[in-house]
Chain A
Amino acid sequence: MSGQLLTVDNLVVRTEVGNTLLRDLGFSLSRGETIGIVGESGSGKSIAMRAIMGLLPEGLEATGEVRLGETDLLRPGAAAAYRGKRITMMFQDPFTMLNPLQTAGETLAEGLSSPDSGEIVRRLEEVGIHDPAVVGRYPFELSGGLRQRVGLAAALAKDPEILIADEPSTALDVTTQAEIVDLLGKTGRERGMGLVLITHDLRLAFSTCDRVLVLYAGALLEAGRTEEVAAQPRHPYTLGLLLSEPPADRRVEELYAIPGAVPTAESVLGGCPFAARCEWAASACLDTDAVLRVADAAHRSACLRQEEIGAEMNERQERRRAEAGRGADQATGAPLVRISGLTKNFGEARVLEGIDIEIYTGECLGLVGESGSGKSTIARCLVGLERADSGKIMLDEAAVVDPATGSATELADFRRAVQFVFQDPYATLNPRHSIRKCFDEILHADQRPDRDDAEKTALLEQVGLTPAYLDRRPAQLSGGERQRIAIARALALGPKLLICDEAVSALDVSVQAQILNLLKQLARERGLAYLFVTHDLAVVRQMADRVAVLDKGRIIETGPVNRVMDAPREPYTKKLVASLPGNVVRQTTNAD
């Protein structure tokens, strides 16, 4: 077909020693089309695109066929000849993809064939930058969203036929994410360019792409036109992804979670990679290579049993849609923790301006705001990781701690009641210590030496892990398992308040729901209160009873979660709520 810009056939990526990272990927891309490649970590989505661009890291090799028009891109040197010209790529991190020593204008001029100032301004306008002053600005003078736009303009400088965007909005604040994704879609359509959007977020792909491909553990599991995949997923994994995404418009009793964790591609070769986590898996699923070879038909799934279980999967989705929202709990009684007048400066910059927050026993307070709003600083001041400049923290209406001048002992006592869960599951545990050693140390520091493993085992059981985990090291654990250990560790001192600083943001969607359910269960069982710091409003809707919205170091709105999210009062809160992916985004952009 002459309309096909890019055809990929039997694309396989292996390591030098023969471990498969990607098995048998095939798809095509035509002019003006946008396809979404969706997958969690380890799905092979980024590796596949790097293989196409000829940018595979050393030690990986690609075989198969990648055709750009008449050219085979896998031939040595071929990709390098077209890279950046006919086919180009845009990266995730707007903070590192621009040369810090070049102005936006210089960055653009490098790629343009006639780099006069008029052309540069025109190019910036194409990506929605209407302020000509941006031309002379350095990356550090630009916001994340503007950097990403400059990055896009630079990628488009040579008028490529194909643009591959690897998680282009993930590192941005929620309000900018939607803008960038919309801009990408619009630019693709206007230029008649082929656009490949790589993302972990199924909803995001649904909101912009004509077709989606769902990858899992190196295999293509489902592909089809967006409307069809969204309305009727035909692979249990796709269904699971859709269901485990926390709904942003209502609160549900319990989130759907896919059990287990994503396997490596190599470990599931020869069978359906999802079989071990699939409730419908039959014995045939384990030993029949269920790889989808042609992704161009309107809608195809690699599931062996798709005909048998189709009706059941549909029903599952219907039930989820019909599921009623549930009101949030209302906290009563005296506050557990009362923060008043918390102020913090970093040098000249004022980060927190007189924060007043109350957290009640057993309640979950969501603290939302964008990067730089100061939400993490509040959390860190509470446990003494940062010293506040002034303020008071009262626990149980009795013990008062001054976060600015409190002594080490005062803070240490306070921390027995207030514990912390960090964001990055890969850095939260000492890589050299077994889980047993990690628990032993805390118990020992708390003068509760534990010779038999009763207490440690109990800690593990609380977070849904077996005692066998005591002798493992962090490197042997998945992201979700590490986060469970981090929660167990935080519970060891018997806290009344657990601060979760973006505790689920770094996890895969299918694992995120497991951890959220675990946190909810712990709240029910132990009457634990949470301060849930996050940028993700859908997560807040599921977890929080009340929300405090933070903007530039001030709390601008507080209230019950349903009230704040359904009827926000402040303009900033309205903007935050409007930026949620899915339907809401489409409405706001259409209105523009």
Chain B
Amino acid sequence: MQGMIKRSLGAMSPALWVAAACVLVVLVCTIGGAAVAPGSPDVQRLLVGDTPPSAEFWAGTDKLGRDVLARTVVGARTALIGPTVVAAGAFTVATVLGLLAGYFGGWIDSVIMRGVDIILALPGPLIAIVVVGVTGGGYWTAVSVLVVLFVAPDTRIVRSAVLVQRSQPYIEAARIQNIPRHRILFVHILPNVMPIILSYAVLDFAFALVNLAGLSFLGLGVEPGTADWGRMLFENRNILFTNPTALLLPAAMIVVTAGSINMLGDRIREAVAK
């Protein structure tokens, strides 16, 4: 395992190092929050209003005179935590369902996969908007809806990986040797499909980040007033010409973070596939 990590790091291109550095910065902001921000994200300076970048406020201020840079740094938290929950939650559920469907087949498989088909037949983003809108919204409602929506494609991925393993001679050998089913599932199959699951979970994370930001932009995510990249896009859309940084910085953060994590995910998958 260590050798594998070393080998994949050794073959990392400069672009990947940049991606890794971006993720690291966002991670520091998430953990540090207000402590690593250059100032308070919530202090309003109504008399100052929106100003372009200056020596005092590197990214300028928004309409309420709040420090955009500080808000962007603090906004990393909602940007990372929600998607992490979505990726981990969706794949935990999908792993259980995929293992059951793939290994046992028969009616268990039919029931699970028809459920999956139903979710996949729904227009995902629209459902998210409707459900979150009708229930009154909120960050965690949005996260929960995304978990359900993401479980469906993830289950398919896990199931197909399990099917590949299931017909491998070493699994058949274990069956012939009367190894109990639960051991075959959790000791033989699960560790061998884990690399695939992990690399797809990284992709889920990036999707969830963009989706949550989208919902926040529509006013369906975080509470008004929270420092959040999607919410900042919504709030600052009217000051595009007085302080464009207030809009472009969070937008850039969404793109860069999602892109970086995607790149790292691809690299992990390549390394694992070797």
Residues of A whose CB lies within 8 Å of any CB of B are: 383-385, 412, 415-416, 419-420, 422-424, 427-432, 441-442, 445-446, 486, 489, 492-493
Contact = CB atoms under 8 A, between A and B. Distances in A.
Given A385-B176, A419-B176, A445-B177, A428 B169 contact: yes
B180 interface: yes
Nearest to A411: B178
A11 B268 CA distance: 36
Contacts of B187: 441
Contacts of A428: 169-170, 173
A486 B173 contact: yes
B191 A416 contact: no
A433 to B, nearest CB: 8
Contact of A492 (B174, B177, B183, B192): B177
Name the 6 nearest CB pairs between A and B, nearest first. A422-B169, A428-B169, A427-B169, A430-B170, A412-B178, A442-B177
A442 B173 CA distance: 10
Contacts of A429: 170, 173
Contacts, number: 56
B178 A385 contact: no
Contact of B178 (A423, A430, A493): A493
Contacts of A492: 177
B180 A445 contact: yes
A442 B179 contact: yes
Nearest to B192: A432
Contact of A489 (B168, B173, B183, B192): B173
Q: From B175, B178, B180, name the one whose CB has the most chain A CB atoms within 10 angstroms.
A: B178
6 contacts: A385-B175, A431-B192, A442-B179, A445-B177, A445-B179, A493-B177
B172 interface: yes
A44 B183 CA distance: 41
Contacts of A412: 178
B188 interface: yes
Given A415-B178, A441-B179, A441-B183, A385 B172 contact: yes
Give the one of B173, B176, B180, B183 with max A CB within 10 A. Answer: B176
Contacts of A423: 169
A42 to B, nearest CB: 19
B176 A420 contact: yes
Interface in B62-79: none
Interface residues of B, number: 17
A420 B188 CA distance: 18
Contact of B170 (A416, A427, A445): A427
B191 A432 contact: yes
Contacts of B172: 385, 420, 422
A514 to B, nearest CB: 20
A333 B208 CA distance: 70
Interface string B157-176: 00000000000111011111
Interface in B168-205: 168-170, 172-180, 183, 187-188, 191-192
A441 B184 CA distance: 10
A429 B169 CA distance: 8
B150 to A, nearest CB: 27
Contacts of A486: 173
Consensus secondary structure, chain B interface = helix
A344 to B, nearest CB: 17
A432 B187 CA distance: 10
B173 A420 contact: yes
A416 B176 CA distance: 9
Interface in B183-234: 183, 187-188, 191-192
Contacts of B175: 384-385
B176 A430 contact: no
Nearest to A385: B172
A445 B169 contact: no
Contacts of A432: 191-192
A493 B191 CA distance: 25
A416 B180 CA distance: 14
Given A441-B174, A445-B179, A489-B177, 15 more contacts: A383-B176, A420-B172, A420-B173, A427-B169, A427-B170, A428-B169, A428-B170, A430-B170, A430-B174, A431-B170, A432-B191, A445-B177, A445-B180, A486-B173, A493-B177
A60 to B, nearest CB: 16
A8 to B, nearest CB: 31
B176 A415 contact: yes
A147 to B, nearest CB: 24
B177 A430 contact: no
Contacts of A445: 177-180, 183
A422 B178 contact: no
A435 B256 CA distance: 46
A177 B185 CA distance: 41
Contacts of A430: 170, 174, 188, 192
Contacts of A384: 175-176
Nearest to B191: A432
Nearest to A441: B179
A492 B178 CA distance: 11
A445 B168 CA distance: 20
Contact of B173 (A416, A422, A446): A422
A441 B183 CA distance: 9
Contacts of A385: 172, 175-176
Contacts of A427: 168-170
Nearest to B175: A385
Given A427-B169, A430-B170, A416 B192 contact: no
B146 to A, nearest CB: 32
Nearest to A474: B170
Nearest to A430: B170
A416 B177 CA distance: 8
Contacts of B176: 383-385, 415, 419-420
A445 B178 CA distance: 7
B179 A424 contact: no
A509 B123 CA distance: 58
A419 B175 CA distance: 11
Contacts of B168: 427
A56 to B, nearest CB: 18
Contacts of B191: 432
Interface string B122-159: 00000000000000000000000000000000000000
Nearest to A422: B169
Contacts of A415: 176-178
A493 B175 CA distance: 13
B115 to A, nearest CB: 27
B169 A446 contact: no
A429 B170 CA distance: 5
